[in-house]
């Protein structure tokens, strides 16, 4: 019972920090975009351009962060990351001009690489490789509430106190909740990994999870998987970073915020379903199905706008795809390539994913301004289809 209790506490506490991390470091920016850009005399496309540049910087640091997870332990680096993220958010809030604001935004996304899913997944895998897949599923189930919590909370705080005060509050959440939690988890991780045993149960040494793909195919399949997640990430990033403005532009008006709140529950429901029934299917099969939901959702909302039913289906399908993608980015590489070097592998895959996805917010906003939101939606649907084809090729290579 002690082992189960400690494992449950670890997953729940990491889930709390992921909700706060994604809510304050990622989801919130689309809500304050208009007010922050207006403060500096800029357009929203400029704001999303800054956000894209910051995501690129975060992606470029990921290979180094991944190697650091393997060398020093992911849980330990999350302590430093959450502390520095809190400080960086203070600089965002107090930025006196656009130059300082841009620098602070870049710092936030660079430091976010040390506290979000890649570090959390690696921490769970390092604790017990063979149990990492289920723990990752449980963690994403909890963290799926981040958007549902922080989109309305950020909107309310921004309207009541302004975007600057909002980020001071968010800095406090990182400093006074996430830092102490990560300190505790780091201590537990050192105790468990250092003992070389299974949480004081008297079991044998923690076993690595072996690879299931032939060594001669590993490199090619890794790049196909990384590219597939990256292309799907472009589509997903475009909508997650600015779902509310996107639905407004497509003509859904005041209903946009309400519809967007369906995204979070859809993530949670599909993750719960995956925990209950997903083990019956190989992660690659689930990946193909999940990533196909993204272009389907984009086609539906573009074809039906401004009918509310189309927006509802869109938000639910995107939430389902996002919910599964967050899991599969951690579990598919573990299932195919094993646990050895997991942190470094996640870092490399995340670098490609982050850098390509970083262009999505700005590119979508730019295409929408130059043509229309509908055309931008169709373009990103096509990118999503390309991502699905990468995973289909992986399937063909493994079964051919």
- Cβ(324)–Cβ(286) below 8 Å: yes
Q: With bands split at pLDDT 50, 70 and 90, how would you rate the model's confidence at 15?
A: very high
Tens digits of residue pLDDT in 384-394:
999 999 999 99
- Cβ(352)–Cβ(127) below 8 Å: no
Mean residue pLDDT of the chain comes to 85
Mean pLDDT computed over 45-58: 85
Q: Which of the given ranges, 16-25, 263-272, 295-304, 345-354, has the highest pLDDT on average?
A: 16-25
- Using the structure block, give the residue that is written with the tokens 């649907």: 381
> Residue 148 has which token pair?
């549902």
pLDDT of 339 > 80? The answer is no
Mean pLDDT computed over 113-131: 83
Asked which of 179-183, 322-326, 335-339 is least confident by mean pLDDT, the reply is 335-339
- Cβ(297)–Cβ(321) below 8 Å: yes
Give the span between the Cα atoms of 377 and 151, in whole angstroms: 22
Q: Higher pLDDT residue, 3 or 20?
A: 20
Tens digits of residue pLDDT in 235-290:
888 887 678 778 887 888 777 777 877 887 887 788 888 877 766 678 899 999 99
pLDDT of residue 331: 85
**CATH T-level fold of 2-399:** Growth Hormone; Chain: A; (1.20.1250)
Domain ranges of the chain: 2-399
- Cβ(89)–Cβ(170) below 8 Å: yes
User: SS3 sequence, the chain?
Assistant: CHHHHHHHHHHHHHHHHHHHHHHHHHHHHHHHHHHHHHHCCCCHHHHHHHHHHHHHHHHHHHHHHHHHHHHHCHHHHHHHHHHHHHHHHHHHHHCCCHHHHHHHHHHHHHHHCCCCHHHHHHHHHHHCHHHHHHHHHHHHHHHCCHHHHHHHHHHHHHHHHCHHHHHHHHHHHHHHHHHHHHHHHHHHHHHHHHHCCCCCCCCCCCCCCCCCCCHHHHHHHHHHHHHHHHHHHHHHHHHHCCHHHHHHHCCCCCHHHHHHCCHHHHHHHHHHHHHHHHHHCCHHHHHHHHHHHHHHHHHHHHHHCCCHHHHHHHHHHHHHHHHHHHHHHHHHHHHHHCCCCHHHHHHHHHHHHHHHHHHHHHHHHHHHHHCCHHHHHHHHHHHHHHHHHHHHHHHHHHHC
| 341 φ/ψ sector (left φ>0, alpha ψ -120 to 50, else beta) | left
Mean pLDDT computed over 164-177: 97
Q: Which of the given ranges, 94-98, 138-142, 368-372, 396-400, has the highest pLDDT on average?
A: 94-98
pLDDT of residue 211: 67
Write down the pTM of the prediction: 0.77
Q: Higher pLDDT residue, 257 or 174?
A: 174
The burial of 180, by beta-carbon neighbours within 10 Å (0-12 exposed, 13-18 middle, 19 or more buried), is given as middle
> Residue 351 has which token pair?
């670098």
The burial of 43, by beta-carbon neighbours within 10 Å (0-12 exposed, 13-18 middle, 19 or more buried), is given as middle
């Amino acid at each position: 019972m002690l082992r189960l209790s400690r494992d449950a506490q670890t997953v729940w506490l990491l889930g709390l920090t992921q909700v706060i991390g994604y809510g304050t470091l990622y989801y919130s920016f689309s809500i304050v975009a208009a007010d922050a850009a207006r403060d500096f005399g800029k357009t929203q496309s400029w704001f999303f351009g800054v956000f894209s540049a910051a995501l690129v910087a975060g992606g470029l640091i990921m290979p180094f962060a991944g190697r650091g997870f393997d060398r020093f332990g992911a849980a330990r680096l999350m302590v430093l990351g959450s502390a520095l993220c809190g400080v960086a958010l203070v600089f965002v809030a107090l930025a006196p001009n656009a130059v300082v604001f841009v620098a602070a935004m870049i710092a936030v996304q660079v430091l976010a690489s040390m506290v979000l899913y890649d570090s959390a997944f690696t921490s769970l895998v390092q604790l017990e490789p063979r149990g990492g897949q289920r723990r990752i599923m449980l963690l994403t189930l909890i963290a799926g509430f981040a958007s549902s919590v922080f989109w309305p909370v950020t909107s309310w705080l921004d309207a009541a106190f302004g975007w600057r005060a909002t980020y001071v509050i968010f800095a406090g959440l990182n400093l006074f909740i996430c830092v102490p939690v990560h300190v505790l988890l780091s201590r537990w991780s050192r105790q468990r990994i250092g003992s070389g045993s299974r949480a004081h149960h008297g079991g044998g040494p923690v076993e690595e999870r072996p690879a299931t793909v032939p060594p001669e195919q590993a490199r090619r399949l890794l790049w196909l998987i990384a590219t597939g997640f990256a292309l799907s990430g472009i589509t997903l990033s475009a909508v997650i970073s600015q779902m509310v403005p996107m639905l407004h532009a497509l003509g859904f008006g005041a209903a946009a915020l309400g519809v967007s709140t369906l995204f979070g529950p859809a993530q949670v429901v599909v993750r719960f379903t995956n925990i209950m029934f997903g083990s019956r299917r190989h992660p690659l099969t689930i990946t193909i199905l999940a990533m196909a939901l993204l272009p389907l959702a984009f086609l539906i909302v573009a074809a039906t706008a401004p009918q509310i039913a189309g927006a509802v289906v869109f938000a639910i399908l995107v939430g389902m795809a996002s919910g599964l993608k967050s899991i599969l980015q951690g579990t598919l590489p573990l299932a195919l390539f094993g646990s050895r070097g997991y942190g470094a592998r996640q870092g490399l895959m995340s670098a490609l994913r982050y850098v390509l996805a970083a262009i999505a917010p700005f590119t979508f906003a730019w295409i929408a301004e130059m043509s229309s939101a509908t055309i931008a939606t169709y373009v990103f649907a096509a990118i999503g289809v390309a991502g699905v084809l990468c995973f289909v090729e992986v399937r063909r290579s493994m079964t051919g």
